[in-house]
Structure 1
Amino acid sequence: MLNRFGIILLCLLLLGACGETKSSGKLQKVGLLVPETINDQVWGTKGFKGLLKIQTNFNVDVFYKERMNSEVDVERAVEEFDQKGVNLIFGHGSEYAEYFNNISKKYPQIHFVSFNGDAKAPNTTSLNFKAHAMGFFGGMVAAHMSKRHKVGVLAAYEWQPEIEGFYQGAMAENKQTNVTIEYVGNWDDEKKALQLVNHMLENEVDVVYPAGDGFNVPVIEKVKEHGVYAIGYVSDQSDLGESTVLTSTIQQVDSLYEKIAEQYNDGNLKSGNLSFDFQDNVISLGKYSPLVSKEFIGKMNMHIEKYKETGMLPK
């Protein structure tokens, strides 16, 4: 019997209705490649929801493939998508930028979209969330709610702008806050992430920001066991425990995918690297825990609105 990964790699799943598509513009059919799974409840799931939004709003056939984590796999998938008539492909991660730069010349009729990379070819675009402010506001909430004045960031990589943002936000809210930062070195290494968060908890960190979509759910569950707090990451994670998750730093990938599809359909999608922030309504803070006072929530809302209007963060 094939294992479930083998089945995922072999199966191209058609989500849309069969037959002629009805998009009134340039968009014909859409493909999505994800490095792991659409069922992770965080990053992959967000991309899949974006694909479904495109299917519904543009009435086009959409396809996806999982476990696309090598250039060979991506080349095969793109060839299959091309045969299906796909002309807009989303690669749901930074690794796809280089893959798409290399193969896009073979498919001038397809526009390739990736995340957090460097798009160099004329028919490639990279989408970048400007995550510094997102982390900043998360850091403010963490420092405000920390009883021990000890908060921790569990990041995947050092280059993530939300990490420095979180530190600066915590300092802006309370200069007495001690911020511990640890790096997993991988988006999906749950074992190492749990080891690092255990070390933080042993050192009396009482608010943890797990900034990695592949390990943040188990980390939040571990934090919950210890009766301390967390800041959710990428999606609204209040459903993991409203007495644990103080708020979440949300990247609304599904809304951004819909926006990009609309731009492509209208013939307005630019090549190169595009950046998005709170002002574009694709980054936000999520639902607040009832433990966070209404007064402080009001203060946060004012800071966020000022940032959206002026680009200035609190000092």
Structure 2
Amino acid sequence: MVVVLASCGQAGNQDELKKVGLLIPDSINDQAWGTKGYKGLLKIQSRFQVDVYYKEGMNSKNVVERAIKEFAQKGVNLIYGHGHEYDEYFADIAPKYPKIHFITFNGDAKNKNVTSLIFDSYASGFFAGMVAGHVTKTNRIGVIPAYEWQPEVKGFSEGVKYQNKNALVDIQYVNDFDDQEKAMLIADAMMTNHCDILYPVGDSYSVPVIERVKEMGLYAIGYVSDQSDLGNKTVLTSTIQDVDQLYEITAEKFNNGQLKPGNITYDFQNDVISLGTFSPLLDQKFIEELNRSIERYKETGKLPNE
């Protein structure tokens, strides 16, 4: 089912942006990546007064192709594929719809009507790793990523080592953004193995893993959104990707005829990547030093170990 969020007008003085479609691989209610995509769609609707549509559970090429056909019939001319997996789908499908511009994330766009928005999250991972290295009591920290290509994973490991040379980082991959069961099994095993801080780097499982960590009286690093509301004495900070803000930015560029195909990278300097609220468990001196390191990175592109 295509869900339509109807608006009462069309885009201001420009006529580039007609209607917008959003494809979500899982759900808009995951409190992380999917929710942020939906919020981004709502920002576009509010800003440009255009009709917007979304479809959930778009996790195979066949269902994606059918959804795009429906969107095209409704006059949609900008489609967001909310995830890395759409890079492959759009590579095959986009040439069939030259009047539609496609946007995906963390991929490699090669067609003239496809743009890939890449979050360079290595630095956010590094700074979050510094937090974990500073707080850990057991010197064992667990990372639960979905895939090896996620740049924040390597950054986190390097940040831990920079801050605390005695800390060990255990990385175990889920190989799926949505496999909560496997992520929870890994989390339980890590905590049994004396990891006192976990960093669940996956869309749908970050919240349940953090809830389990909270039950155990241990600590976590939030992912994608500021997850301090799950417990600011559990969540030390979060690696935030303001993808909802990026929706509005790219829609404006498209509306003005300025959105280019290919890959566009975003980092701290673009104000779409940041760290979330710091836990009151962190001492003020460390927070001040960390903030100075972040400002230095914004200005120079250099991390504390460089």
Common topology (TM > 0.5):
yes
Match of 1:7 in 2: none
Match of 1:53 in 2: 43
1:215-249 deviation line (CA, Å, top 9, x unaligned): 11111111111111000001100011111000000
Structure 1 position 150 matched with structure 2 position 135 = no
Contact 1:278-1:284 at 8 Å conserved across structures: yes
Total equivalences in the alignment = 304
Pairing 1:163-202 to 2, within 5 Å after superposition: 163-202=153-192
Counterparts of 1:105 and 1:24 in 2: how far apart (Å)?
Answer: 29
Alpha-carbon offset, residue 22 of structure 1: 3.1
Letter in 2 for 1:140: M
Structure 2 counterpart of 1:308, from 289, 298, 301: 298
Question: Aligned-pair RMSD on alpha carbons?
Answer: 1.1
Structure 2 counterpart of 1:80, from 70, 84, 100: 70
Letter in 2 for 1:267: G
Structure 2 counterpart of 1:248, from 227, 234, 238: 238
Structure 1 counterpart of 2:59, from 51, 65, 69: 69
Letter in 2 for 1:310: T
Partner SS, residue 270 of structure 1: coil
Letter in 2 for 1:34: I
Match of 1:4 in 2: none
Bigger shift: 252-261 or 290-299?
290-299
Letter in 2 for 1:185: N
Match of 1:94 in 2: 84
Alpha-carbon offset, residue 250 of structure 1: 0.3
Structure 1 position 32 matched with structure 2 position 25 = no
Structure 1 counterpart of 2:193, from 197, 200, 203: 203
Structure 1 position 283 matched with structure 2 position 273 = yes
1:25-58 deviation line (CA, Å, top 9, x unaligned): 2111111001111111111000000000011111
Percent sequence identity is 59
Unaligned runs of 5+ in 1: 1-10
Counterparts of 2:89 and 2:101 in 1: how far apart (Å)?
Answer: 13
Letter in 2 for 1:51: L
Counterparts of 1:77 and 1:69 in 2: how far apart (Å)?
Answer: 11
Alpha-carbon offset, residue 76 of structure 1: 1.3
Bigger shift: 74-83 or 250-259?
74-83
Letter in 1 for 2:300: T
Q: TM-score, normalised by structure 2?
A: 0.97
Counterparts of 1:311 and 1:238 in 2: how far apart (Å)?
Answer: 27
Structure 1 position 238 matched with structure 2 position 228 = yes
Letter in 1 for 2:292: M
Pairing 1:286-301 to 2, within 5 Å after superposition: 286-301=276-291
Match of 2:103 in 1: 113
Partner SS, residue 183 of structure 1: coil
Alpha-carbon offset, residue 296 of structure 1: 1.3
Alpha-carbon offset, residue 16 of structure 1: 2.3
1:232-277 deviation line (CA, Å, top 9, x unaligned): 0011000111110000000001011111111111111110111110
Counterparts of 2:150 and 2:95 in 1: how far apart (Å)?
Answer: 30
Pairing 1:3-14 to 2, within 5 Å after superposition: 11-14=1-4
Structure 1 position 22 matched with structure 2 position 21 = no
Alpha-carbon offset, residue 117 of structure 1: 1.4
